A and B are shown apart, each in its own frame.
Chain A
Amino acid sequence: MTVEAVGRPRPKPGGAVANPSIFWRIPWLRTAILLAPPLTWFVAIYLASLALLLVTAFWTIDPFTTRVVQSWSLDNFQQIVNEPTYLRIIGRTVLMAALVTMTDALIAFPFAYYMARVASRRVQTALFAAVLLPLWASYLARLYAWILILNHSGVLNWSLQSVGLPAANVAYSDVAVWIVFSYIWLPFMIIPAYAALERIPDSLLEAAADLGARRWRTVRDVVLPLALPGVAAGSIFTFSLTLGDYITPVLIGGGTSFIGNVVYSSIGIANNVPFAAALAMVPIAIMALYLIGAKRLGAFEAL
């Protein structure tokens, strides 16, 4: 595209598009050629695998042979709905996702506000690097770092004891999972919140001050409502990533189950792929509802 936009037309090296005016004569051809590879990939790999997942969810396994029985049934879904254990796990996962999302929103908003509206250009760049740098490190390495921090004899307790406070027993618990999830997904909340805050024209803040609003009043009446779509956009990431993750609960958690690691153990331990597929449909359904809500808040315009 860019090559064609620069300077005079250059001779094309042979091939089907030897005549450059063909794109002019058939306007949709350029779009078609441009979109064909990603669209093929998207349909064949992404949508097809989702469809397979959906289909598999209606199959069952033979309890004796553990072979997949390819006949339609709602057994898996009935099992999820009828067994309180699974409902508890789903409830716990959604609660965790909500808690992580709220925590991240509370941390990210003031941080992004400082980045977008207060910090100098140089500090802004430094903060950007600080936010994005952890994403370059391996997920597992960061989890192990947190194990070292939260351990009974880890950095956290060492620090608490050195100032004379009692040790905190958060290692291998749901609290630890909450802390680590909040840490890991924080950049995904900060970036869209920053983008939304950065887009608010200075004149709107001046107008609020001009009409008599103090700084906090301006933040409440003007900045927060206008940044909300950005925070909603960020929450799509933090919520869905928490909903689907299975590594953090396994490595950091105290053995309580979340949707992700139940799906994982259904495949890895129980070898019950159809049930895993059915359970995996739950976060997809929850996210579909969540996206509808986020769209109402204008999250898609803020992305």
Chain B
Amino acid sequence: MTEADPAKTPALRLQGVRKNYGQVVAVAGVDLVVDEGEFFTLLGPSGSGKTTLLRLIAGFERPDAGRIELGGRDVTSVPPHLRDTNTVFQDYALFPHMSVADNIGYGLRVKGVAKPARERRVQRALQMVRLEGLGLRRPNQLSGGQRQRVALARAVVNEPEVLLLDEPLGALDLKLRQEMQIELKQIQKDVGITFVYVTHDQEEALTMSDRLAVLANGQIEQIGSPVDVYERPATEFVAGFIGISNVLTRDGVRFVVRPEKIRMLAEGEEADPGMTVELGRVEEVIYVGMNTRYVVHLDRGEQLVAVRQNMDALGDAQKFEGRPVRLAWTPDHTFVLE
């Protein structure tokens, strides 16, 4: 599913949203539709406007132009405390003077949910993020990963129309981040709340999203499913930002070939019929554990990167350094840049 379903009322709709800070254009006219129950990611480098966009949706900033709708209702000039959104902040923003349970229950308390119901929902939220029994702790008695879960529970427990997450895993180490990616995705599926997720980590975006928007300079470069965006990037920026891209120009056509689609032919090995073959010289061999990257300087000028799984590298990859190689790929696996 690459297009939002027009028949349903979308959870979130942005129309021509702009935001300037003085002379700096943070968001330069964004149109976006996010479906009910979707895991939608805003992906972009720092300064691309993704966090500003999230803050506009939450209501912390007011757009200079454009319209923001939540569940079909225009909320462009509605303050954050009246919007049906909740945010998981990058620094978690847990209240240090409240217990974990009070943090999670704060939104319900403000809304006037009676104590027994509130406590029940807080307990369920604690279970959901696997923090049973830690309700009486203070945030500073928790680890980074646990705090992250509390921040998530504090937002999810309110069952908002849209849940906004601002690089929530940014402060965690790689291992924990990967675990939390899977867990977050699972929680999103279970509760069925629409997630709008901001990250600069392309792998994270590809792993978790139903659809994602790639942002650069305050504008959307491409919206699509992870497969779309990776296999058929719309612009050179998208191609370069997501994964490693080798941009080549042949016969006046600029196109991209992904490193994993390139085959390094062994001596005497023939390329399959229909494959493009180019000659080059290996400049550098980079061992990255799961695979090995070969930086190849083509005889026709460009430099490109080829990747081989290490199941056939046998640890002897270094011997290729400086050697001439033949690279082959199927034209179907390349994509042309306009």
- Tell yes or no: B311 within 8 A of A by CB: no
- Tell yes or no: B111 within 8 A of A by CB: yes
Question: What string of 1s and 0s marks CB contacts (under 8 Å) between B76-115 and chain A?
Answer: 0001111001110111011111000000001100110000
Do A211 and B154 have beta carbons less than 8 Å apart? yes
What is the bound-complex CA distance between A221 and B96, given in angstroms?
Answer: 12
Q: A41-49, A134-142, A212-220: which one contacts chain B? A: A212-220
- How many of chain A's residues have a CB under 8 angstroms from any CB in B? 17
Do B95 and A209 have beta carbons less than 8 Å apart? no
Which of the residues B81, B85, B89 comes within 8 Å of A203, measured between beta carbons? B89
Do A225 and B91 have beta carbons less than 8 Å apart? no
Within 8 A of B (CB), among A166-212: 201, 203-204, 206-212
Closest A residue by C-beta to B60: A206
Could you give 19 example pairs across A and B, Cβ below 8 Å? A201-B93, A203-B90, A206-B89, A207-B89, A207-B94, A209-B59, A209-B79, A210-B85, A211-B81, A211-B106, A211-B154, A212-B111, A213-B81, A213-B106, A213-B110, A221-B95, A225-B97, A226-B96, A226-B97
- How many of chain B's residues have a CB under 8 angstroms from any CB in A? 25
Shortest beta-carbon distance, B19 to chain A, in Å?
16
Q: In the complex, what residues of B have CB within 8 A of residue A221's CB? A: 95, 106
Do A212 and B110 have beta carbons less than 8 Å apart? yes
Given A211-B107, A211-B110, verify A206-B81 contact (CB < 8 Å).
no
Q: In the complex, what residues of A have CB within 8 A of residue B94's CB? A: 207
Given A217-B110, A221-B106, verify A209-B80 contact (CB < 8 Å).
yes
Instruction: List residues of A whose CB falls within 8 A of some B CB.
Output: 201, 203-204, 206-214, 217, 221-222, 225-226
Which of the residues A207, A213, A217, A226 comes within 8 Å of B93, measured between beta carbons? A207
Q: Is the interface of A mostly helix, strand, loop or mixed?
A: helix
Shortest beta-carbon distance, B194 to chain A, in Å?
16
Do B79 and A203 have beta carbons less than 8 Å apart? no
Q: In the complex, what residues of A have CB within 8 A of residue B155's CB? A: 210
Do B111 and A203 have beta carbons less than 8 Å apart? no
Closest A residue by C-beta to B154: A211
Closest B residue by C-beta to A204: B93
Given A211-B81, A212-B111, A213-B106, 13 more A-B residue pairs with CB atoms under 8 Å apart are: A203-B93, A206-B58, A206-B60, A207-B93, A209-B59, A210-B58, A210-B85, A211-B110, A212-B107, A214-B81, A221-B95, A221-B106, A226-B97
What is the bound-complex CA distance between A24 and B329, given in angstroms?
Answer: 63
Interface centre among B79, B87, B93, B158 (most CB of A within 10 A): B93
Closest B residue by C-beta to A228: B97
Do B95 and A207 have beta carbons less than 8 Å apart? yes
Given A217-B110, A221-B106, verify A210-B97 contact (CB < 8 Å).
no
Which of the residues A201, A207, A213, A225 comes within 8 Å of B87, measured between beta carbons? A207
Shortest beta-carbon distance, A219 to chain B, in Å?
13
Q: In the complex, what residues of A have CB within 8 A of residue B59's CB? A: 209
The 3 nearest A-B residue pairs measured at CB: A211-B107, A203-B93, A207-B93
Q: In the complex, what residues of B have CB within 8 A of residue A214's CB? A: 81
Q: In the complex, what residues of B have CB within 8 A of residue A222's CB? A: 95
Do B80 and A210 have beta carbons less than 8 Å apart? yes
Which of the residues B82, B87, B97, B110 comes within 8 Å of A206, measured between beta carbons? B87
Interface centre among A203, A211, A225 (most CB of B within 10 A): A211
Given A212-B107, A213-B110, verify A203-B91 contact (CB < 8 Å).
yes
Q: In the complex, what residues of B have CB within 8 A of residue A201's CB? A: 91, 93
Do A211 and B86 have beta carbons less than 8 Å apart? yes
Shortest beta-carbon distance, A297 to chain B, in Å?
11
Do B81 and A212 have beta carbons less than 8 Å apart? yes
What is the bound-complex CA distance between A212 and B107, given in angstroms?
Answer: 6
Do A210 and B91 have beta carbons less than 8 Å apart? no
